[in-house]
Amino acid sequence: MEITFLRKNIILNCYHLLSMQFQRFVHEISFILTFTIAIWSLSVSTAQATIVFNITYDDMVNHTGIGFDDPIFGAERRNTLNAVFDYLNTVIDSNGTLDYEVKDSNNLPNSSNLAAGSSLYFPSLNGFQDGLAFDHIMTGIDPYPSSYDGLVTFNFGKNWNSSLDTPAANQYDLYSVALHEITHALGFRTLLNEAGNSQISDSNPGVFTTWDSHLVLGDGDPLFNSAGKFIGSTTDLVSNDIYFSGTEANLANGGKPVQVYAPSTWSASSLAHLDVSSDLMYPFSFRGEEKRQYSPIDLGILQDLGYTLYSDLTQIHDIPEPSSLVLFMMGGILLLSLYFRKLSKPPILFNRII
């Protein structure tokens, strides 16, 4: 806009030297220039940011011939993941990067796992960490260049809808499950274990997540103090009475904290999911089910985790529909469970997959 005003001033200063006819011509040119530059400025200021998703498909690197390297479905599956990344670029307003590893696919028809994913965290930094994925996406600075920021594994031993079409009644929807797993990498995850210690450092205080910092009990008591120490009890962790409390999430949930999955028997999915069956971040996926959008609650949580979202999304604060028990009737309940693996080489990073 400064350029606009400068040009205009120069033109105005010269005005008195010009004939009336030429003045009109100059005036029109001035107007067009001003208008053009104003539009250009507007387009620059509202241009959509773009997160660069650097995806490594280990199936292709290792020529597994399955999963994302499948000769029939591989390209379609990669295309579906690209659609998920495109969707994220309509949600998160950032010019950062995500280095994401899609690990060798499993082919385990009898496993209860559909998929598992996570961010990576620094094991030696006690306190609440955002995760490498968050850091790289939001700052554009690679927090640990020799490592991926997040990872995911899929089990293609199941019947998947690999395409962008609606899943058939007997298919799991790759788009929906991929969005769920990538959202774990964005920070929807706990690092508490059932003993109340950090899964990474096996200590308290220890390494926990920003998500953890928002966990409270039904009576509002926080599970952590501000120094990052778990101050609840192990009974609390299996109480069915744990909630995510954040300004934006609560607003999206009718003013109340959002119930977190905390079943009476500790589960691999405990505390890392929402206990809202209609929500993308519910820990179970059903055949024929399609969840390809963030709910207002999900968007609120993303904001509470520190993401900058496009403003048209942050205005939505609906009270969600009551969850439907019908979902429970749709057989094939599969746990998106978690397991972990340590890097065989040093250092410093601990991989955990949900």
Site for Zn ion, rule CB under 5 A? 336
Minimal distance in Å, beta carbon 235 to Zn ion? 24
Minimal distance in Å, beta carbon 336 to Zn ion? 4
Nearer residue to Zn ion within complex by CB, 204 or 285 = 285
Q: Distance between terminal CA atoms of the chain? A: 49
Nearer residue to Zn ion within complex by CB, 178 or 336 = 336
Minimal distance in Å, beta carbon 81 to Zn ion? 16
Residue of minimal Cβ distance to Zn ion: 336
CA-based angle 337:342:346, to the nearest 5? 160
Contact 164, 283 (CB under 8 A): no
Nearer residue to Zn ion within complex by CB, 179 or 251 = 179
Minimal distance in Å, beta carbon 295 to Zn ion? 15
**φ, ψ (nearest 5 deg) of residue 349:** -110, 145
**Where do the DSSP E strands lie in 45-138?**
52-57, 97-102, 115-121, 127-129
User: How long is the chain?
Assistant: 354
Minimal distance in Å, beta carbon 30 to Zn ion? 59
Alpha helices in the chain (DSSP H): 2-13, 20-46, 58-61, 74-88, 132-139, 174-186, 210-213, 247-252, 296-304, 311-314
Minimal distance in Å, beta carbon 180 to Zn ion? 5
Comparing C-alpha atoms, which of 178, 174, 212, 182 is closest to residue 305? 212
| CA 130 – CA 120 distance, rounded (Å) | 9
Residue located via tokens 């809808």: 161
Nearer residue to Zn ion within complex by CB, 192 or 336 = 336
Nearer residue to Zn ion within complex by CB, 92 or 336 = 336
Nearer residue to Zn ion within complex by CB, 60 or 268 = 268
